[in-house]
Every structure is written in structure tokens, then in C-alpha cells.
């Protein structure tokens, strides 16, 4: 299966593109993929045109673009971190393996049902405190525009695994995003829970 292009790749622009560059790229790609210009592949052309329109709607929206940019950075973790267990921790190892099975179910459900996926990650976290499970809960919260819940989830992942540079950077990037969005909307600063 081919890797799906992100919106910037689809429009063939860089993430730092200005609004004018986004607009120009949209017009260019719309022309390139339009069904009238691809009569031999009408289904493909229609699909690509729809993808271009979807990408433009997000990248041209000053509220949605920063969230999209964050989601490019904070992608779903597909495999939980390995844990080492001693011979005296067999009960913990069993819980870890059960949590990993629920974690995998959550990953498998992510594209089709964010709600069911979130439930599996919550169950996984309830069985064994997997930092990657609570991190994935944060990714789903961001996808559903629940920034405060996402912040709590990312902070919990960092608390469980404080050596993780990735979890630390995720908390920092979400803090920046929330400040940027508050400034853009003219709202007072939100409590980040730090």
C-alpha cells in the first residue's frame, strides 16, 4: 500500500508556505487533477480533486492549519515501547501483554472509528500504564479538537516516561499551539495544567 501524502505534499508546497502560495498551489493542482484534463482516468481524477479540495480547506483555514501542523508531528504510535521484566514480575508482564493486545486493537480501529480506538487505548492504559497508550489518547483528543484533554494525556505520557524527549517535545509543541490559537482568537490564555 502506498504512503498517503500529507496536505503539503499533495499541493506540492512547503509547510512554511504563505496563504498566497497555498492558493496558487491549490489552483495549479485543481487544474492538474481535474476530470476534464484526465478523461482516461475519471475516477482517479475525481478522487485526487477531492483530496486537493480537502487539503485546501484545511491549509487555508487559519484555525485548522496549526492543528493540522501539530498532527503531522504528533502521529499515532503504532507499537508500544518494549518493557523489561524480571522473573519476579511475571504478573506485570502478563498485564503488559494484555495491554499491548488492546493497544494493537486501538491502532487497528484508528482510521475507521476514533471513538472505539480511544476506548481501546483507555482499556489498555487501565490494564497497564503504557505511556504510548495515553499518548495515543492525546492524539485522538487533538483530532477531535479537545486540546485540554490532549494536554493532560501528553503530560501523563511524559510523567510515565520522563526520559522521553519525544513526549517532552509533544507537550511543548501543544503548549505553543494553544498559545498561538488563543492569540489568534483573542481569548485569554488557557490553563495548560503545568
Helix (H, G, I), strand (E, B) or coil at 72: helix
Report which DSSP code applies to 79.
Answer: S
Q: Do 160 and 129 meet the contact criterion of CB atoms below 8 Å apart?
A: yes
For the chain, domain boundaries: 19-71, 82-185
Rg of the chain in Å (alpha carbons): 20
- Write down the mean pLDDT value for the chain: 89
Cell numbers at 150, concatenated: 490532549
181 pLDDT above the threshold of 90: no
Stated pTM of the model: 0.78
Convert the pLDDT of each residue in 17-54 to its tens digit: 999 999 999 999 999 998 898 999 999 999 999 999 99
What is the rounded distance in angstroms from the CA atom of residue 57 to the CA atom of residue 54?
5
Please calculate the CA angle 37-43-47 and round it to the nearest 5 degrees. Answer: 90
The answer regarding whether domain 82-185 maps to CATH 1.25.40.10 reads yes
Nearest to 128 by CA among 83, 84, 92: 92
Amino acid at each position: 500500500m502506498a504512503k498517503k501524502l500529507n496536505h503539503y505534499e499533495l499541493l506540492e508546497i512547503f509547510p512554511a508556505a504563505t496563504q498566497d502560495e497555498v492558493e496558487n498551489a491549490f489552483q495549479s493542482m485543481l487544474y492538474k487533477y481535474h476530470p476534464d484534463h484526465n478523461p482516461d482516468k475519471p475516477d482517479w481524477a475525481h478522487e485526487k480533486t477531492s483530496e486537493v479540495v480537502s487539503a485546501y480547506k484545511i491549509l487555508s483555514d487559519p484555525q485548522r492549519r496549526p492543528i493540522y501542523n501539530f498532527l503531522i508531528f504528533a502521529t499515532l504510535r503504532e507499537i508500544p515501547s518494549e518493557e523489561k521484566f524480571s522473573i519476579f514480575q511475571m504478573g506485570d508482564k502478563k498485564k503488559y501483554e494484555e495491554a499491548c493486545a488492546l493497544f494493537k486493537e486501538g491502532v487497528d480501529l484508528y482510521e475507521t472509528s476514533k471513538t472505539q480506538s480511544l476506548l481501546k487505548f483507555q482499556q489498555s492504559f487501565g490494564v497497564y500504564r503504557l505511556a504510548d497508550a495515553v499518548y495515543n489518547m492525546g492524539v485522538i483528543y487533538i483530532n477531535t479538537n479537545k486540546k485540554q484533554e490532549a494536554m493532560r494525556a501528553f503530560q501523563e505520557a511524559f510523567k510515565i516516561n520522563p526520559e522521553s524527549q519525544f513526549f517532552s517535545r509533544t507537550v511543548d509543541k501543544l503548549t505553543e499551539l494553544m498559545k498561538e490559537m488563543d492569540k489568534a482568537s483573542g481569548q485569554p490564555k488557557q490553563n495548560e495544567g503545568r
